Amino acid sequence: MDDNYQTYLNRVARLTLPEAYKSQVQNIQESYKFQPSEGTRVAVPFPGYTLITPPAAEDAENSDFYATLQGYQQEILQLPSNQNLIVPLPAESFHLTLADLIWDSAYRHACEKNPEFESQLQACIAETFQQYQELLTQVSQAIAWQVLGIVLMPRAIGVCLVPKDESCYEQIVMFRRTIYQNPKLIALGIEQHYHFTAHVTLGYFGDISPDLDRIKLADELTELNKKWMFNLPQISVRRLELRKFDDMTRYYRESHWPSLEF
């Protein structure tokens, strides 16, 4: 399902064009992952498992990358159009997702149907990580991805990433193929829902006013991209971990859960 290298580059490049923002702002929606509570918005239960790089609070190697993204987040929050529009994520939770696994109702149903689901999932991921490492040849460089610009999703806003080169892209696609084509994981209900679009989510959409000037918002995002284009940070992808989440603000793991070193 994932794109080849050139198709990926072409697709994500289009996502950061002014014309794309003008189209995308027409379709933004309130995120059901955050609900109003006493004058603010709080994360609501949304449990599941995912395969991600270590969250910012635990990724010292990429501390400069995440510090820059935190600055980007603050600039987005200060946009004139942001009148409670964007619910920011905690900066310490920033991460790059390499493969979504299972979440929300599908996760709840799997646990109800199979009391051993979580332990079986953890065992399958460990086995899959081992299979992937056996496929790898010696890699002389780290997997590196660079911020391209702001990306608007229907219910969230973040920055999208492009690989440093084709090898960095192909290693991730090969990994995702190993996950999503694994018969044991498929039997557990793990399936691929989306084409891979590397991104770091910075916030979700909250109150969308009927008076929101969507064209103005698109213009503001375009101007931010222009401002940032000579200072776009890079993340080094060296470690991947199985993480659990109860909502969209925290991703955690036990020390014995599987991890993968690239």
Average pLDDT over residues 116-144: 86
CA dihedral 177, 183, 185, 187 (to 10 degrees): 140
- Mean pLDDT value across residues 119-145: 85
What is the model's pLDDT at position 244?
98
- Asked whether residue 141 is domain-assigned, the answer is yes
The whole-number pLDDT of residue 262 equals 84
- Both tokens of 80, joined, read 């004139």
CATH of residue 129 = 3.90.1140.10
**Residue, of 142 and 174, whose pLDDT is higher:** 174
Confidence (pLDDT) at 246: 98
Asked if residue 255 belongs to a domain, the reply is no
pLDDT tens-digit series, residues 185-243: 999 999 999 999 999 999 999 999 999 999 999 999 999 999 999 889 999 999 999 99
Over 64-122, what HEC string results?
A: HHHHHHHHHHHHHHCCCCCCCCEEECCHHHCCCEEEEEEEHHHHHHHHHHCCCHHHHHH
Contacts of 258 (CB under 8 A, 6+ apart): 122, 125, 126, 129, 241, 242
How far is the CA of 130 from the CAs of 175, 191, 258, in angstroms?
11, 19, 10
Residue 259: inside a domain? no
Strand partners, 236: 144
Confidence (pLDDT) at 213: 96
Residue 200's pLDDT is what? 98
Q: Helix, strand, coil % (nearest 5) of the chain?
A: 40, 25, 35
pLDDT of residue 161: 98
Per-chain mean pLDDT for the chain: 95
Cβ(42)–Cβ(173) below 8 Å: no
Q: How many domains does the chain have?
A: 1
Is residue 251, in this structure, part of any structural domain at all?
Answer: no
Mean pLDDT of 87-102: 98
Mean pLDDT of 35-44: 92
Q: What is the pLDDT of residue 141?
A: 65
**In DSSP terms, which residues pair with 242 in a beta bridge?**
51
- Identify the H or E element spanning 135: helix 117-135
pLDDT value at 140 more than 70: no
- How many whole angstroms separate alpha carbon 180 and alpha carbon 19? 33
- Expressed as residue numbers, the domain containing 125 is 5-245
The separation between the first and the last C-alpha atoms of the chain, rounded to the nearest angstrom, is 23
Domain for residue 228, yes or no?
yes
217-230 tens-digit pLDDT: 999 999 999 999 98
Structural domain contains residue 161: yes
In a domain, 262, yes or no: no
